[in-house]
Structure 1
């Protein structure tokens, strides 16, 4: 019995000391006698009758009386006493709700940078180095990856970033070209004022820091005109040749030529490639409107005939004067990107822009190649419709019709 109520007795022991001690009231500065304390004790206990001990004598003090109580009697007395704190349940509930929110957001409250021991705990096969020694290469790689994961998203959000490869692989359509896009690529920057060609005067917009500024409205107009020309030539089965002799233009002209099933020349133009029949490629084959070989044997005149393109696109006309002369001699139309130091009359269809910038040339060639691709798709669609009208299959070559007619 005594062991079961040891703890409650200790708690009441403080109250017993308070009851048996004298209390001084601050308002009246009077001392409360022991009779008042006995009344309070009887009120707490809840019995008006005086309790007697086993010998039939009254208890000497409240501690002796409480120590001889049963556990049930003691619990009844404790339950009758009011809670010492006002709004105790509300305070407990608020504290519990705060702890609950902290527990639910425990992942967000973690420190962004953890120490090496907790960071490396995710890699059980890694042997950490001694704390006095520098980190190993594996530990440095793990910490660098953790740092980039935490701090990688911080900073400014970059939008509309220039990506050079997209001008070549995913070139825009002519309808997507705007003055803003030409301006951002630097197409308006001409050459020095001292290098101005007098025939280029209609395309000048103004001057800025010793440079001539090109009118981008006219650049957009002439570029759209050139796109229509190359689209119609490819649609009618014409051959387009792309010429880029500067470093960094190989990939752009190669991609544009592949889009419209054309050809390209880079690095160097061999003199006589158009005017001299000996420089033409041999052996030669005949292709149909789908650019597929017909496997027909050519005659001697056809073997010796000079092959020339139907259109030449020149990125830097100032570096391809020989090719321009041969094209003019063979009456081949040309499209060229003309800068402020070049005569626009050198080519048939000039495009006033900054030809010294690789970004500008890649943009313009990509747009021209996209237009040639549209013309090729239109031609293939017309061929399919023509085959359907003849009752042929889509993959059936035209050479079979000649054999049947013969």
Structure 2
């Protein structure tokens, strides 16, 4: 559980309840819709709180057990928020284009990550000092491209135990790969998406940076509690 009590007024003030147009919706979200107003579905925030609490508890337990959660958010309004939370807790994340096979063909992806790490290692050791400007330019371009797409998962040496997605309609491939490998799935799910595709879904506005930020605040707190509890147990066992 998050150490902060989830406040419904806070969720209201950050637009968590605003869904999509009633013309663009998924029928499976009907139990989580409070009403329709001016052609827009409004999410039942009491249901949001219930599902957010469930997600926080599960995430806390996952982190407490020492496992990693991969965060995925390639939409503009979520990128900075997700990368900040992920870096804070040393969790892998993807905020650029999802590379097909990142999970289902992880062995190949790891080879690419090792290539990136090797370039960095050789640069630091001075191994490239004797290269021509043209050769060094090509290496720098390769490093920059690799860093952009997989630099944020360079420390992910094995498949994550869970994946947290912002907008499952946008990140369909990531969700499909996770489900194929039985990786536990978490997601913010708006009124246009099917919550039944996710193990732990949070009915919420996944288009607003304010909404994404407040939901991730509670998720971040749950991760922090899990990490802290694990560290305390280790200290007690020494």
TMscore range, shorter length: 0.7 to 0.9
Report the Cα offset of residue 174 of structure 1. Answer: 5.2
Q: Tell whether the 8 Å contact from 1:247 to 1:267 is kept in structure 2 after alignment.
A: no
Q: 1:339 & 1:234 partners in 2: Cα distance?
A: 26
The residue aligned with 2:8 is 179
Is the aligned partner of 1:231 residue 2:60?
Answer: yes
Structure 1 segments unaligned to the other structure (5+ residues): 1-172, 284-305, 388-406
- What is the Cα-based RMSD across aligned positions, in Å? 1.5
Report the Cα offset of residue 254 of structure 1. Answer: 2.0
Q: 1:238 & 1:313 partners in 2: Cα distance?
A: 13
The residue aligned with 1:282 is 114
Determine helix, strand or coil for the equivalent of 2:114.
coil
Cα deviation 1:185-227 (Å, max 9, x = unaligned) = 1111111111121111110111111111110000001001100
The residue aligned with 2:213 is 362
The residue aligned with 1:385 is 236
The residue aligned with 2:84 is 255
Is the aligned partner of 1:330 residue 2:181?
Answer: yes
Q: Tell whether the 8 Å contact from 1:234 to 1:372 is kept in structure 2 after alignment.
A: yes
Is the aligned partner of 1:208 residue 2:6?
Answer: no
Cα deviation 1:91-140 (Å, max 9, x = unaligned) = xxxxxxxxxxxxxxxxxxxxxxxxxxxxxxxxxxxxxxxxxxxxxxxxxx
Q: Tell whether the 8 Å contact from 1:240 to 1:262 is kept in structure 2 after alignment.
A: yes
Cα deviation 1:294-335 (Å, max 9, x = unaligned) = xxxxxxxxxxxx821011110111110000010001100111
Cα deviation 1:161-184 (Å, max 9, x = unaligned) = xxxxxxxxxxxx553321101011
Q: 1:199 aligns with which of 28, 32, 53?
A: 28
Q: 1:371 & 1:238 partners in 2: Cα distance?
A: 14
Q: Tell whether the 8 Å contact from 1:259 to 1:372 is kept in structure 2 after alignment.
A: no
Q: 1:218 aligns with which of 14, 24, 47?
A: 47
Larger radius of gyration: 1
The residue aligned with 1:314 is 165
Q: Tell whether the 8 Å contact from 1:338 to 1:344 is kept in structure 2 after alignment.
A: yes
The residue aligned with 1:300 is none
Structure 2 segments unaligned to the other structure (5+ residues): 116-156
Report the Cα offset of residue 359 of structure 1. Answer: 0.8
Q: Tell whether the 8 Å contact from 2:83 to 2:95 is kept in structure 1 after alignment.
A: no
Q: 2:221 & 2:188 partners in 1: Cα distance?
A: 17
Report the Cα offset of residue 353 of structure 1. Answer: 0.6
Comparing both structures, which one devotes a greater share of its residues to helix? 2
With the length of structure 2 as denominator, give the TM-score of the two structures: 0.78
Q: 1:350 aligns with which of 192, 197, 201?
A: 201
Comparing both structures, which one devotes a greater share of its residues to strand? 2
With the length of structure 1 as denominator, give the TM-score of the two structures: 0.46
Cα deviation 1:227-271 (Å, max 9, x = unaligned) = 011111001000111111111322211222133321111021101
Which runs of at least 4 in structure 1 moved beyond 6 Å after TM superposition? none
Structure with greater contact order relative to length (CA < 8 Å, sep ≥ 6): 2
